[in-house]
Amino acid sequence: MRPLSAYDLLRVWELGQNRPTWKRALLLLAPAFPDATHRELASLSIARRNARLFALRERTLGSTLNAVARCPGCSLPIEFSVGVRDLCDLEPGEPADGYYRLVVEGIEVHFRAPTSVDLAAVADSASLADARRRLVARCIRRARRDGVVLPIADLPDPVVGAVGDYLATSEPAADVRLQLDCPACGRSWTERFDIAAFFWGELAAQVQRIVREVDLLARAYGWRETEILAMSAFRRQAYLDLVNG
């Protein structure tokens, strides 16, 4: 994995305009893993995808995440800082063959973790509940009762629900949550932390800064965008210091 350069940040931002979050996550990872095909990245479990996004964020912008959440009690915006490694296990474990096994209501289910391909396939779901059910159904490889194979579409809701719950707890990197406390009203709550959406938000801010730098240097020295983006951040800053006097 290599960190994202100024050129990568601009390019990813450009390609990700009006794209869903799952697609933006893959666009962020692509330049960092130049030897991986799109198919390979899209086939990573969401836990592994997130672990790579957290690691890439750390390599590119440092290990401290500064975020804001709104208190559900009094609506106060709460600013907080958290370390990448405090939020996510960067090497999530998975079963050796990639399949989990669970017995619910006498039905034995074999299933795998969802991937970006699965998220894309259920993106047109009518509701969150529908998306979750479709997602879990896609991940079930086989269901049997007393050795008899059952059609996956006919599995009872509690079985599908149990598989979804199992995935949520066995792969915490797939659904990262953190505990927050409000200093104003004392409320404690659990906040979901979506690294793909968070990193994308940061990317937009980085792009604004880079574009301003390119604009200043291009005006001052007549250099082209590709030349300025090819410089290290240190070299760019040295010239910016001269321009800003």
Nearer to Zn ion, 183 or 245 (CB): 183
- Those residues whose C-beta lies under 8 Å from the C-beta of residue 238, and which sit 6 or more positions away, are none
Report d(CA 131, CA 150) in Å as an integer: 22
Which span (71-79, 84-92, 105-113, 213-221) binds Zn ion, by CB under 5 A? 71-79
Select from 123, 168, 185, 197 the one that contacts Zn ion (CB under 5 A).
185
Q: Taking the CA atoms of the chain, what radius of gyration do you get in angstroms? A: 22
Q: How far is the CB of 183 from Zn ion (least distance, A)?
A: 8
Closest CA to 67 of 23, 57, 50: 57
What is the amino acid identity at position 234? F
Q: Contact between 188 and Zn ion (CB under 5 A)? A: no
Q: How far is the CB of 79 from Zn ion (least distance, A)?
A: 13
DSSP 8-class letter at 3: P
Closest CA to 110 of 80, 72, 149: 149
Q: Contact between 72 and Zn ion (CB under 5 A)? A: no
Q: Please, are residues 204 and 13 in contact by the beta-carbon 8 Å criterion? A: yes
Q: How far is the CB of 74 from Zn ion (least distance, A)?
A: 3
User: Which residue in the block uniquely carries the two structure tokens 């999530």?
Assistant: 92
Select from 73, 83, 95, 98 the one that contacts Zn ion (CB under 5 A).
73
Select from 184, 197, 204, 238 the one that contacts Zn ion (CB under 5 A).
184
Nearer to Zn ion, 165 or 181 (CB): 181
- Site for Zn ion (CB under 5 A): how many residues? 8
Q: Please, are residues 9 and 210 in contact by the beta-carbon 8 Å criterion? A: yes
Nearer to Zn ion, 188 or 208 (CB): 188
75, with CB counted inside 10 A (0-12, 13-18, 19+), is exposed
Nearer to Zn ion, 69 or 131 (CB): 69
Select from 74, 103, 205, 233 the one that contacts Zn ion (CB under 5 A).
74
Positions touching Zn ion (CB under 5 A) are: 71, 73-74, 76, 182, 184-185, 187
